[in-house]
Amino acid sequence: MIQLKGIAAAPGISIAKVYKIGKEELIVPQQPIDEAEIPLQIQLFEEALIQTRKEIVDLQKRIAADMGQDEAEIFDAHLLVLEDRMLIEEVIARIKREHLNVAYIFSEVLKKYIDIFSKIEDEYLKERTADINDVGKRILRNLLGKERKGSLEDLKEKVVVVAHDLSPSDTAAMHKQSVCAFVTDIGGKTSHTAIMAKSLEIPAVVGVEEATSKIKSGDTLIVDGSMGVVIIDPDSATLEQYRKEEVKLKGFVEKFLEVKDLPAVTKDGKEVEITANIELPEDVSAVKLHGSHGIGLYRTEFFYMNRKDLPSEEEHYQAYKYVAEEMKPYSVIIRTLDLGGDKFLSQLEIPREMQPFLGWRAIRFCLARPEIFKVQLRAILRASVHGKLKLMYPMISGIEELEQANKILEESKAELSKEKTPFDKDIEVGVMIEVPSAAMTADLLATQADFFSIGTNDLIQYSLAVDRTNEKVAYLYEPAHPAVLRMIKNIIEAGHHAGIRVGMCGEMAGEPALILILLGLGLDDFSMPPVVIPEVKYIIRSLTLSQAQEITQAALKLSTGREVEEFSQAKLREILG
């Protein structure tokens, strides 16, 4: 039995066998196929070869332009692998003979080739192993993309996925599949992979530095996503202890669920709004189950992931219409495209940047590519007649960006009016406050915004200079840091001074102990992953506003994040008995 410590990213306990995804490994399930499916499998293989050729030729062109012809010619060897008749014929023959899916057969043939080449004495031929491996992975990736079913979906039993890292799109693709927990080597508490795990309501521990080197496929693993602990091959006493813990946690959850449909009102009558964060339209069922009064953050960029093209206006419209109708009479805040940082959209072919979180992303990208931005804005406006929709812009750093975004919005409205397409002319437009410059100029932004939503996930990383996805500096990522609290105070005061509501949709809004302080600071709206809503309502209903204000005043006098955290935890324990 080995115990590993990481960062608690999504609460809950899961005990299951491990399904490990290696650093560069692709998940290649073995699937039997019927005789009738053989031509389709061969066609998929041919398409994957064509697609791979195109990718390599494009890559060659880019390299020739950036680095020179000689460097580009290195990839000629990759193109040769694609034309290797022996390899192609062996794959086709084995599909016909073995009646198995092409991705699996190809991965087996690839392994055999790599094995043979790596044993050859000749240095030149030996070096070809890397080419075969590289080009083989490309083909495999394209095959898996085409097969769609070739993923964790085909697993029969529940597993814990252990990986070096999982991108938000990997995680989104695992939606509703047989994964009951995640463990990753790297990552932070507010990385989008962790956020996605909370949405999926599965426990996750990230930043477990030795996870992939210590854990093997098939091991039994206990994942305690609340404490950030992972136990490999637990002994029977530990298993027993965690099973009891699981039952206890379920008991708490049931207690919290009893208040899920009641208002979030303090004992002395102060009511705040509790809403949910979603990533995909299908998340609305979880939202309803957990008693949310609307959606405070709809992260629309997940709609662009795991596909090769950009979603059309009609696709956007159908998704937003569905969410608007499902959530009626409550409101839904749609956040416009927030790509970049750790959310990479392959179809946009945006070059990798040195500092992606500070780069060409979110509203910056949308303002530079109004033709892409408008598709989404028009769809939001069109869908606004089907419910109560609001929209908000991410990553606004100052008033000029807000004005530019609103100008494009006005153009979209004018187009729709001209086409006589109905939309809500009074749609509220909010600003996410997640960049320190926006926090410090909140008074200026408030004059042109209908509401604020504080994005603490980014606000914390930018103001404390701590990458939210990096486990090495996770200890510095402190929501309770006095600098963060002061900024939040400033934003709330500026918003209220201008007569607008101030909400928060970063993970901090759902942190039990910190809710006391946010309440005391006067936050109006709290938006969070659906799974934490009942607990947050329970807490708010357990204290008075004046108690919260007293706690806040005392917390604001403390000088470190740790002190604030410990103080608010102690107060929470006192309140909840």
Q: How far apart are CB 297 and ligand PEP at their closest, in Å?
A: 6
d(CA 176, CA 412): 36
E-assigned strands of 22-75?
none
Using rule CB under 6 A, residue 506 touches ligand PEP: yes
E strands present in 170-294? 179-184, 204-206, 220-224, 229-232, 264-265, 271-278
Q: Residue 505 catalytic?
A: yes
For position 529 contacting Mg ion by CB under 5 A, the verdict is no
Residue 456 touches which of Mg ion, ligand PEP, none (Cβ within 5-8 Å per kind):
ligand PEP
Q: What is the DSSP string of 481-500?
A: -HHHHHHHHHHHHHHHHTT-
Q: How far is CA 392 from CA 57, 395, 404, 424, in A?
A: 40, 10, 13, 15
Tell me the residue length of the chain. Answer: 577
Return the exposure string of 165-182: e unless at least 16 CB atoms fall within 10 Å of the residue's CB, then b: bbbbbbbbbbbebbbbbb
Sign of torsion over alpha carbons 321, 323, 329, 333 = negative
**Is residue 299 within the footprint of ligand PEP (CB under 6 A)?**
yes
For the record, the structure tokens of 188 come out as 């932070």
- 283 is a contact residue toward ligand PEP (CB under 6 A): no
Sign of the dihedral defined by the CA atoms of residues 99, 104, 106, 111, in that order: negative
Total interface residues for ligand PEP by CB under 6 A: 10
Site for ligand PEP, residues 410 to 439, rule: CB under 6 A: 434
> Residue 232 Cβ, how far from ligand PEP at the closest point, in Å?
31
Minimum distance from CB of 424 to ligand PEP (Å)? 24
Contact pattern from residue 317 through residue 346 relative to ligand PEP, giving x for each residue in contact according to CB under 6 A and a dash for the rest: ---------------------x--------
| Euclidean distance between CA atoms 36 and 47, whole angstroms | 18
Taking CB atoms, the residue at the shortest distance from Mg ion is: 458
Determine, following the binding rule CB under 5 A, whether residue 458 of this chain makes contact with Mg ion: yes
DSSP string, 335-381: EP---BTTB--GGGTPPP-SSGGGSS-HHHHHHH-HHHHHHHHHHHH
Nearer to Mg ion, 163 or 435 (CB): 435
Q: Binding of Mg ion at residue 434 (CB under 5 A)?
A: yes
User: In the complex, what is the shortest distance from the CB of residue 452 to ligand PEP, in angstroms, rounded to a whole number?
Assistant: 12
> Which residue, chain included where needed, has tokens 């995804």?
21
- Residue span 118-147 as binding mask against ligand PEP, x where in contact by CB under 6 A, dash where not: ------------------------------
What residues contact 366, with CB distance under 8 A and at least 6 apart?
A: 336, 337, 372, 373, 393, 405, 408
205 touching ligand PEP, by CB under 6 A: no
Region from 76-84, 198-206, 284-292, 452-460 binding Mg ion, contact rule CB under 5 A: 452-460
Compose the 446-485 pattern: x for residues touching ligand PEP by CB under 6 A, - for all others: ---------xxxx---------------------------
Catalytic residue check, 175: no
Contact flag: residue 467 with Mg ion (CB under 5 A): no
Catalytic residues: 192, 505
Contact footprint for ligand PEP (CB under 6 A): 297, 299, 338, 434, 455-458, 505-506
Contact footprint for Mg ion (CB under 5 A): 434, 455, 458
